[in-house]
DNA sequence: AAAAAAG
């Protein structure tokens, strides 16, 4: 039922096979021993360690031979690898050896960034096979994204960059960017790079699909690479036995994200770009063995990607200190608030030992910019740059949206029709509203001999990761999902998104269809609509029109008839026509539900000037009037990494 | 109303 139960009876079997992606090391993969679950004894652990060092020694000797290893075409940056090539500096007897790092880890000493030698196996793990262009899908078609409109506001907005170059980016980071085959910065990245470089705070209305993960990772890691760790870190004396050591980790970066899968995804990206550097990324999230995560952290943790609940847990256990934080990133902030994380987030940011707003750089990302996000921005950010990123054009062009009227009892057979008629190739993602339905439908599909899996919050973390994995690599090209997979998740090659049940929130719908139609590809999105969904009909029509899609006439009439009764809710002030979210410091707010033009609660800021920080103080607590005064942005999410 | 997340 719950992951913790697996640790007991069934733990050994499952634990021996499954190693979460971020825990995998070179020698973990072929682990054939039946032991090795979370509860395995110290004996197993230490013998593991011995094996690891052995295999390490042997692979290390490979470095001398350049073989085919250097033939991978890094010609554009010939100097990059010279520093990191295997040399005599880095040996066990040497003073510079830092035991808390393994050999694939760089280190910082006396103001110099020592880059670790390259490691073919890790490189393959992180970046894929060099010739495998399909798997390595990042970096394609970026040119296409030049059209995405970006609007930046705030004081002294730095000029956007146009290329990945050094400066402003660190040379080592550029090498990793090359390895990951990112060629051209996306619009978010063009802006975020100089903004973070300048040490400014950022509030960005953008989604994963816009390249925002790299958008914050690049400049932030780049700065860390050049600046090094904070000097006054309490020294870790690794010669002491572990029980006498300070077991707290002092990360420089915290990245918070709402779901476990998203957290893992960000972590995977971080690993790529932190490769061989002194920065060691870690990831913590609920539902997984905390002991394993603690051990990871103990080995060094400079950049931590976390879900809020687990992070609070670790702080309480005094295993994480926030006192050295230089960068705080809140990803999918609106989603985190929706999920009720505000208390945890406020606790982490305001009530623990994290440096104050003035003493850290804070980056906030959010698909929408409703009022509670504005308040969060007010409290967490200083003199920030507001970035509004337009849709990645493919919502309108690349994704064919279709709304079908299907009664609940007919849904199954219509679904089967669709699945039978669709040609092989792309993945099919089916969204349902309840966890129960996800299981029921998945079971039904299996009984009909469709290779399906399901992902939802009642499954264990292991099951979730397995499901996602088997979907990604097309072992089960059909996946039934709840809202857990609607946003942010990057699943390549999804050809068809089916909203078996429509969500009640149009944002969710938009996020769902954004799982398909990736860069350069076309996608299909089908939704089953019936009377139960009439609440979303109006918004749905808006979306369809905006995306130049066919609007069924029956849908129009449902809306008309709906308006008769509801007295015309007249939309919720969503910004149509490209840009949605606006810098509320600059623009007058659009009317919310009541609409009586009384939304100028921030008063007197139409001049485009930057508001004084205390502008909010005049506002007191009475902001309950009106609803949702802020335009919401619909942006496609063709995630490409 | 359901889902997600800390256990």
Question: Tell me: the pLDDT tens digits for A524-549?
Answer: 899 999 989 988 998 899 888 878 88
Per CA to C1' distance, which residue is closest to B6?
Answer: A309
Q: Which nucleotide's C1' sits nearest to the alpha carbon of A4?
A: B7
Query: Gap from A157 CA to B4 C1', in Å?
Result: 36
Query: Gap from A532 CA to B6 C1', in Å?
Result: 34
Residue A411's contacts (CB-CB under 8 Å, 6 or more residues apart) are: A500, A528
Q: The CATH number of the domain where A463 resides is what?
A: 3.40.50.300
Q: Are A296 and A282 in contact (CB under 8 A)?
A: yes
pLDDT for position A144: 53
Which is nearest to A332 in space by CA: A301, A369, A278?
Answer: A369
In angstroms, rounded to a whole number, what is the distance separating the alpha carbons of residues A391 and A367?
11
pLDDT for position A443: 95
**Eight-class DSSP state of A114:** E
Q: Which nucleotide's C1' sits nearest to the alpha carbon of A261?
A: B4
**Eight-class DSSP state of A292:** H
What is the number of helices (H) and of strands (E) in chain A? 20, 16
pLDDT for position A31: 29
**In-domain check, residue A309:** yes
Q: Which nucleotide's C1' sits nearest to the alpha carbon of A311?
A: B6
**Eight-class DSSP state of A317:** T
Q: Which nucleotide's C1' sits nearest to the alpha carbon of A343?
A: B5
**In-domain check, residue A267:** yes
Q: Which nucleotide's C1' sits nearest to the alpha carbon of A336?
A: B4
Claim to verify: residue A306 and residue A207 sit in the same structural domain: yes
In angstroms, rounded to a whole number, what is the distance separating the alpha carbons of residues A498 and A414?
11
Q: Which nucleotide's C1' sits nearest to the alpha carbon of A433?
A: B2
**In-domain check, residue A370:** yes
**In-domain check, residue A619:** no
Q: Which nucleotide's C1' sits nearest to the alpha carbon of A457?
A: B4
In angstroms, rounded to a whole number, what is the distance separating the alpha carbons of residues A544 and A220?
38
Total domains, chain A: 2
Q: Which nucleotide's C1' sits nearest to the alpha carbon of A2?
A: B7
Query: Gap from A374 CA to B6 C1', in Å?
Result: 27
Per CA to C1' distance, which residue is closest to B4?
Answer: A339
In angstroms, rounded to a whole number, what is the distance separating the alpha carbons of residues A559 and A571?
12
Radius of gyration of chain A (CA): 25
User: Domain span at residue A452?
Assistant: 405-524
Claim to verify: residue A191 and residue A301 sit in the same structural domain: yes
Three-class secondary structure of residue A469 per DSSP: helix
Query: Gap from A27 CA to B6 C1', in Å?
Result: 31
Claim to verify: residue A457 and residue A381 sit in the same structural domain: no
Q: Which nucleotide's C1' sits nearest to the alpha carbon of A339?
A: B4
Q: CA dihedral defined by A211, A215, A216, A220, rounded to 10 degrees?
A: 140
Query: Gap from A630 CA to B3 C1', in Å?
Result: 24
Which of the listed residues A508, A524, A540 is the one where a domain comes to its end? Answer: A524
pLDDT for position A302: 94
Q: Which nucleotide's C1' sits nearest to the alpha carbon of A436?
A: B2
Residue A191's contacts (CB-CB under 8 Å, 6 or more residues apart) are: A150, A152, A157, A158, A160, A385, A387
Tokens standing for residue A621? 């607590």
**In-domain check, residue A67:** no
Q: Using a 7 Å cut-off to protein CB atoms, list the covered nucleotides of chain B.
A: 1-7
Claim to verify: residue A325 and residue A254 sit in the same structural domain: yes
Element of type H or E holding A255:
strand A253-256
**In-domain check, residue A621:** no
Query: Gap from A272 CA to B2 C1', in Å?
Result: 36
Which of the listed residues A390, A422, A456 is the one where a domain comes to its end? Answer: A390
CA atoms within 13 A on the CB side of A79: 6
Query: Gap from A310 CA to B7 C1', in Å?
Result: 10
Claim to verify: residue A292 and residue A168 sit in the same structural domain: yes
Query: Gap from A507 CA to B3 C1', in Å?
Result: 15
Give protein residues whose Cβ lies within 7 A of nucleic acid chain B: A 4, 258-261, 285-288, 290, 307-313, 316, 338-341, 433-437, 456-458, 482-484, 504-505
Query: Gap from A434 CA to B4 C1', in Å?
Result: 12
Claim to verify: residue A338 and residue A373 sit in the same structural domain: yes
Tokens standing for residue A73? 């075409």
Dihedral sign for Cα A70, A76, A82, A84, please.
Answer: negative
Claim to verify: residue A386 and residue A414 sit in the same structural domain: no
Q: Which nucleotide's C1' sits nearest to the alpha carbon of A335?
A: B4
Which is nearest to A113 in space by CA: A253, A226, A234, A223?
Answer: A226
pLDDT for position A205: 86
Q: Which residues of chain A, if any, have pLDDT below 70? A: 1-102, 131-147, 207-209, 231-245, 390-397, 423-425, 488, 518-521, 564-582, 586-641
pLDDT for position A255: 97
Claim to verify: residue A186 and residue A154 sit in the same structural domain: yes
Query: Gap from A308 CA to B6 C1', in Å?
Result: 9
Query: Gap from A260 CA to B3 C1', in Å?
Result: 14
Q: Are A512 and A395 in contact (CB under 8 A)?
A: no
In angstroms, rounded to a whole number, what is the distance separating the alpha carbons of residues A201 and A383?
7
Query: Gap from A82 CA to B4 C1', in Å?
Result: 46
Query: Gap from A347 CA to B3 C1', in Å?
Result: 23
Which is nearest to A315 in space by CA: A263, A270, A256?
Answer: A256
Per CA to C1' distance, which residue is closest to B3?
Answer: A483
Q: Are A371 and A630 in contact (CB under 8 A)?
A: yes
Per CA to C1' distance, which residue is closest to B5?
Answer: A309
Query: Gap from A613 CA to B2 C1', in Å?
Result: 38
**In-domain check, residue A599:** no
**In-domain check, residue A533:** no
Claim to verify: residue A441 and residue A418 sit in the same structural domain: yes
Claim to verify: residue A159 and residue A187 sit in the same structural domain: yes
Per CA to C1' distance, which residue is closest to B2?
Answer: A434
Claim to verify: residue A127 and residue A167 sit in the same structural domain: yes
Claim to verify: residue A221 and residue A327 sit in the same structural domain: yes
Query: Gap from A518 CA to B4 C1', in Å?
Result: 26
Q: Which nucleotide's C1' sits nearest to the alpha carbon of A486?
A: B3
Which of the listed residues A524, A559, A587 is the one where a domain comes to its end? Answer: A524
């Amino acid at each position: 039922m719950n992951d913790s139960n697996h640790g007991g009876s069934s733990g050994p079997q499952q634990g021996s096979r499954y190693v979460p992606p971020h825990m995998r090391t070179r020698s973990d993969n072929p682990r054939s021993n039946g032991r090795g679950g979370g509860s395995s004894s110290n004996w197993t652990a230490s013998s593991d360690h011995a094996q690891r060092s052995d295999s390490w020694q042997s692979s290390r000797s490979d470095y001398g031979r350049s073989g085919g290893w250097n033939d991978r075409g890094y010609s554009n940056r010939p100097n990059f690898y010279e520093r990191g090539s295997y040399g005599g500096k880095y040996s066990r007897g040497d003073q510079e050896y830092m035991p808390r790092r393994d050999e694939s880890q760089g280190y910082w000493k006396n103001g110099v960034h020592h880059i670790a030698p390259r490691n073919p196996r890790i490189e393959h793990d992180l970046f894929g096979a060099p010739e495998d262009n399909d798997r390595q899908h990042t970096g394609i078609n970026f040119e296409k994204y030049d059209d995405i409109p970006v609007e930046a506001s705030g004081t002294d907005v730095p000029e956007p960059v146009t290329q990945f170059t050094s400066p402003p980016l660190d040379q080592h980071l550029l090498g990793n960017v090359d390895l990951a085959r990112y060629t051209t910065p996306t619009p978010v990245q063009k802006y975020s790079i100089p903004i973070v470089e300048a040490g400014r705070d950022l509030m960005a209305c953008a989604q994963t699909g816009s390249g925002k993960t790299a958008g914050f990772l690049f400049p932030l890691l780049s700065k860390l690479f050049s600046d090094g760790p904070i000097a006054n870190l309490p020294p870790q004396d690794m010669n002491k036995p572990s029980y006498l050591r300070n077991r707290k980790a002092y990360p420089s970066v915290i990245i918070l994200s709402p779901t476990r899968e998203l957290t893992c995804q960000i972590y995977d990206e971080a690993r790529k770009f932190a490769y061989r550097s002194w920065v060691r990324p870690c990831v913590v999230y609920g539902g997984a063995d905390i002991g394993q995560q603690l051990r990871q952290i103990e080995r060094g943790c400079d950049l931590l990607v976390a879900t809020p609940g687990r992070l609070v847990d670790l702080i309480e256990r005094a295993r994480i200190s926030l006192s050295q934080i230089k960068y705080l990133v809140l990803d999918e902030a609106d989603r985190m608030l929706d999920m009720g994380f505000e208390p945890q987030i406020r606790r982490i940011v305001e009530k623990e030992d994290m440096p104050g707003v003035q003493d850290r750089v804070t980056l906030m990302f959010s698909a929408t910019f409703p009022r509670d996000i504005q308040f969060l921005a007010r409290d967490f950010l200083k003199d920030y740059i507001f970035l509004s990123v337009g849709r990645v054009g493919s919502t309108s062009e690349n994704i064919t949206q279709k709304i079908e009227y299907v009664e609940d009892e007919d849904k199954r057979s219509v679904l089967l029709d669709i699945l039978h008629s669709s040609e092989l190739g792309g993945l099919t993602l089916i969204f349902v509203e309840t966890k129960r339905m996800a299981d029921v439908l998945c079971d039904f599909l299996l009984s009909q001999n469709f290779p399906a899996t399901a992902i939802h919050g009642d499954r264990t973390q292991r099951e979730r990761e397995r499901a996602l994995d088997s979907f990604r690599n097309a072992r089960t090209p059909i996946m039934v999902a709840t809202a857990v997979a609607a946003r942010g998740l990057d699943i390549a090659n999804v050809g068809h998104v089916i909203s078996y049940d429509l969500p009640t929130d149009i944002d969710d719908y938009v996020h769902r269809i954004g799982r398909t139609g990736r860069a350069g590809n076309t996608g299909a999105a089908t939704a089953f609509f019936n009377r139960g969904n009439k609440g979303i009909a109006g918004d749905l029509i808006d979306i369809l029109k905006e995306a130049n899609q066919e609007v069924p006439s029956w849908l129009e009439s449902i809306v008309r008839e709906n308006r008769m009764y509801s007295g015309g809710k007249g939309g919720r002030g969503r910004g149509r026509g490209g840009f949605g979210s606006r810098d509320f410091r600059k623009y007058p707010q659009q009317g919310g539900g009541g609409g009586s033009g009384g939304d100028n609660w921030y008063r007197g800021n139409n001049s485009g000037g930057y508001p004084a920080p205390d502008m909010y103080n005049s506002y007191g607590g009475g902001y309950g009037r009106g609803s949702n005064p802020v335009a919401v942005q619909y942006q496609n999410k063709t995630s490409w990494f």
